[in-house]
Structure 1
């Protein structure tokens, strides 16, 4: 099964072709990603209008390159998948509309993929991870702990009550005058800092649930920075180190609680899966390895190019759904908000196609 995947939910324009074998194993034939980081850096964050316009300008070329690198034609495709949300609605419209056009003209099945579902299933593409597994999704827009029980069967165990982890890192970087994207900048500064200098809070620590909160931590950091302004280079490094250590402690506590909930409800997970750009942070990665060891499982973290937004994960999620006979009508609507755990109850959104059973 060959599937073209299109991703345009934020500031990466991406397309990929993925092959799914009969035994369920996946192969990436191409994965083209065009980042807009430079266009948004001067604004300190993603500007939705600029992102949407950039997708329009380059998406056709990105798709053509992906098809060329995969050495396949549109006639050979078994389906076309596109991220239909959640994300910046302008960008989502661009990608989904393009996928609809290809599906209509080439008479191919369309799969409207939930962007979060694509992250959730990426471990099956790279490691053939069996269900059920526990997913820690940490990115600029999302921070969630989920039980992944099957394709289309997801249970949210914990989520952030305010900022996502990546958003908190970006806002910290902006506050301290660092570059964009902020996560790598804060992590780099933290290596030169003292993580114990500033007594920052650990929000929601020791609670029985698995939810997160980062707004209070961000405010506390701002107050500490204002109290010692003007900041020296060492002050900035120490603030970054203290902030990152607080985040690491929160992740360890909240994820430990999430894994406890998972085991109580579904038994031992086959793996702890990390997805999203924040999973690349080495301090957080060490904690994830430790937690996986504690519960007697393994940490599965796809390569960095598959942790951040990409077309391969969209194509793979499309292939997984096509293998179950699930497609979408051309009338399917783009969605700015689309919680992952709504998928299991959204049976009216999909139609089953006998040809793919």
Structure 2
């Protein structure tokens, strides 16, 4: 006990774990059933009797089993001595022990391993999608940018669309491959994309996931009503059809944000404002006359989420002239990068965001 530092004042409370603590709490405790506890003074008062009794007498006196009666005297002595040395006046017996701690540790380890496995699976699936695109000689520059935008929208609006997180990688795969059918014919390429995805060698995609990816690629074009009809007529279960409609809606928006395949949108911040979703965009060349087309394919999301969509467009600020918001960004900067390595500069969410708003961040890519 000399290695245990003394506490100060004797007013502390400590948790006492295990069956012995629970047995002592029943003998000298306060009688609470939820979280029983006992005072050090009460334990010390009962200690001489507990230690004096033999095993059979403890079993009869305290109504405990033999294995508990054999050790509870020593346990009471240890608890009393440790509490006195530490300056503890009260011991709480929460009803848990080493077994529960081990189970919690195992559960936490399993959760971490599952998360790691899911992350590895997602990376492998995206790698397979890129490999397939390379094999058919499809340029994925546009697809990669749409993937970044779709991924940002999916995570920033998760509280709005309610689609499970593990579906996000299917949206990314669909974004990568939504135009792959152009290698067959640019005209009607969405139909070719659907066919190619259905028959592509994409390890990691089961039949259901492949169906969803193919449907998203098929419905990234044309009007929302036709997209809804195609997905609703698919063999997917009803709940997955609903999720697929929302994912397709997000893909359609991400694709429309890069309509001219120029990777203009460098950052997107999606915020819920009442019954509307506001997309604040940082655009490489600033606002232009064609910005009214940025949400030209938002009809499906509007219908599925029951919310209006609005967009604001701003030019990036040159970091060498932070006080000059009109100065254009350095033209030598790589326009294909979705995000600068430096902290983002552009539209931010006002701290006084109305109640119900979802604070979100810029496009981030943690998978490639």
Q: Which gives a bigger RCO, structure 1 or 2 (Cα 8 Å, sep 6+)?
A: 1
Q: Where on the TM-score scale, by shorter chain, does this alignment land: which range?
A: under 0.3
**When the two structures are superposed, what TM-score results if normalisation uses the length of structure 1?**
0.25
